[in-house]
Structure 1
Amino acid sequence: MEFLVEAVGSINDCFVSLPLPLIQTLQSTASSPLPPILVLQLGSPSHPPHCWFVAWSGASSSSSAIQVSQQFAECVSLPIHSPVQVKVASNVPHASSVYIEPHTVDDWEILELNSQQAEDQILNQVRIVHEGMRFPLWLNGHTVITFHVGSVFPKNAVVQLMPGTEVEVASKTRKRNSDSAGDSHVG
């Protein structure tokens, strides 16, 4: 089935919202319990296909398009208003461990102040990751920090974050300016 992808500012997670016809098709053909992991495939005769793995939390879109947060679409370079083929991904392994790092020093500093909330929210907002991926995480309902996935285990193209997945966060520190007044020495 082919659907357009639409960015929505009111979505504060990395899940997609699906149009009702797609939900009905998934429910009628599902051999396992929903929600599935989906593959969105974009391709044209002049370009080879490109795929994005996305997770669905059960939400329905308010239009006939697949809806996704603007920040998530930007992080994973998912083209908006482009038609994609939708397929169910099967046998996506559960991650036993994932190594992530804040995208910027500012993200790290916000994370340090909100570490417990980030830990509590990550599984509520993110389900699918892969090495090299960037993803947003919303804190306090409005603050967004971005992470980069450094590695996943098991080593697969895509893994699911689940309760029990060990998520290790690397620190990121500001570089000190050696020319600043506090660091210079006059002899």
Structure 2
Amino acid sequence: GTQMESKIAFVPSQHSFASVPRRLLGQLPRIGAGEPVALRLCWTSGGERREAVVGWGGGVAAGDALELPSALAEALGLSSVRAVHVCHASSLPLAVRATLAPESPEDWALVSGGAARLEETALTQLNVLTAGTRVPLWLDGAACAWLRVSELHAADGPVAAARLASGSELHIAPPVAAAATGGGGGGGDGGDSGGGSFVARLEQAPRGWPPLALGLSAAAMAARRISPGDLVLLYARGAGAAGSSAAAARGAA
């Protein structure tokens, strides 16, 4: 697709979706029917041309810069970059299987202990993966687990980058230290695949969660720079709850 230059800004977020400035929206496809949309970012660092693929969930940036979650920018090596070229990554295949490895025993403890949660919420945090890159995932409030993508497979074989959707499988194995001590965790619906590894089959929406519609007045939406169809993150604390939980809803006029 056509490349567009944009400054980038970093924002604290517990997901890996970019937010696009309004001036670039006309160059991107509309979000619809659950189809993942990916952006290809290109930049120069140390005299070398680099690129990365990030997901877009329909979010609109508050200013004129492409907004990236701080953890995602760290994972992609973009923390010191000030501008990138952006285009729609239109030819990414759909991932059938992705193999990931937690970076530490602590990261393994988080993902193995929250396998079912991972299946239910991963698609609310990211919709693309690139082989060889790091991925942050939030599974228990503010606790972030870091994983590295070692392999990606589409229906016809290995690929360098791919979209994620309902039914994509994440094959997660423990770090060497955890595996050596027998530190295996529970599995998701895919079950334990041996040696402590497990398979998480991604779901489009959390099991048993009713659809959530967010009603805002036109004035409230304008004040917060929210447009119909934008992805909105909600943080709620129930009475007596031990921590906060996050949910995603589509903005409605």
Which interval holds the TM-score relative to the shorter structure? 0.7 to 0.9
Distance 2:138 2:50 in 1: 27
Deviation, 1:174, is: 7.1
Q: Which residue of 1 aligns with 2:15?
A: 13
Q: Which residue of 1 aligns with 2:44?
A: 43
**RMSD (Å), alpha carbons:** 2.3
Q: Which residue of 2 aligns with 1:163?
A: 166
**Residue by residue, what CA displacement relative to the aligned partner does 1:22-52 show, whole Å, maximum 9, x if unpaired?**
113325xx7x9876311111137x7232111
Query: For residues 35 and 128 of structure 1, do their structure 2 counterparts lie closer, same or farther at Cα, with a shift above 3 Å needed?
Result: closer
Contact 2:152 2:160 in 1 (8 A): no
Q: Which residue of 1 aligns with 2:120?
A: 120
Q: How does 1:25-64 map to 2 (within 5 A)?
A: 25-26=27-28, 36-43=37-44, 47-64=47-64
- Identical aligned pairs, as a percentage? 26
Contact 1:5 1:79 in 2 (8 A): no
**Letter matched to residue 16 of structure 2:** C
Which SS does the other structure have where 1:159 is aligned?
strand
Of structures 1 and 2, the larger Rg is shown by: 1
**Letter matched to residue 25 of structure 1:** Q
Q: How many residues align?
A: 171
Contact 1:128 1:161 in 2 (8 A): yes
TM-score (normalizing by structure 1): 0.82
Query: For residues 115 and 40 of structure 1, do their structure 2 counterparts lie closer, same or farther at Cα, with a shift above 3 Å needed?
Result: same
Distance 2:159 2:111 in 1: 27
**Letter matched to residue 153 of structure 2:** F
Q: Which residue of 1 aligns with 2:149?
A: 149
Q: Which runs of 5+ in 1 are unaligned?
A: 177-187
Q: Which residue of 2 aligns with 1:185?
A: none
TM-score (normalizing by structure 2): 0.62
Q: Which residue of 1 aligns with 2:111?
A: 111
**Letter matched to residue 161 of structure 1:** L
Q: Which residue of 2 aligns with 1:183?
A: none
Distance 2:36 2:63 in 1: 19
Contact 2:110 2:139 in 1 (8 A): no
**Letter matched to residue 128 of structure 1:** V
Distance 1:158 1:167 in 2: 14
Q: Which runs of 5+ in 2 are unaligned?
A: 182-253
Distance 1:129 1:26 in 2: 19
Contact 1:40 1:53 in 2 (8 A): yes
Which SS does the other structure have where 2:28 is aligned?
helix
Deviation, 1:3, is: 0.8
Deviation, 1:149, is: 0.8
Distance 2:62 2:163 in 1: 26
Deviation, 1:159, is: 0.8
Which SS does the other structure have where 1:90 is aligned?
coil
Contact 2:70 2:79 in 1 (8 A): no
Q: Which residue of 2 aligns with 1:86?
A: 86
Which SS does the other structure have where 1:98 is aligned?
strand
Distance 2:179 2:97 in 1: 27
**Residue by residue, what CA displacement relative to the aligned partner does 1:31-87 show, whole Å, maximum 9, x if unpaired?**
x9876311111137x723211111100011112111111111111112445111111
**Letter matched to residue 37 of structure 2:** P
Distance 2:19 2:80 in 1: 14
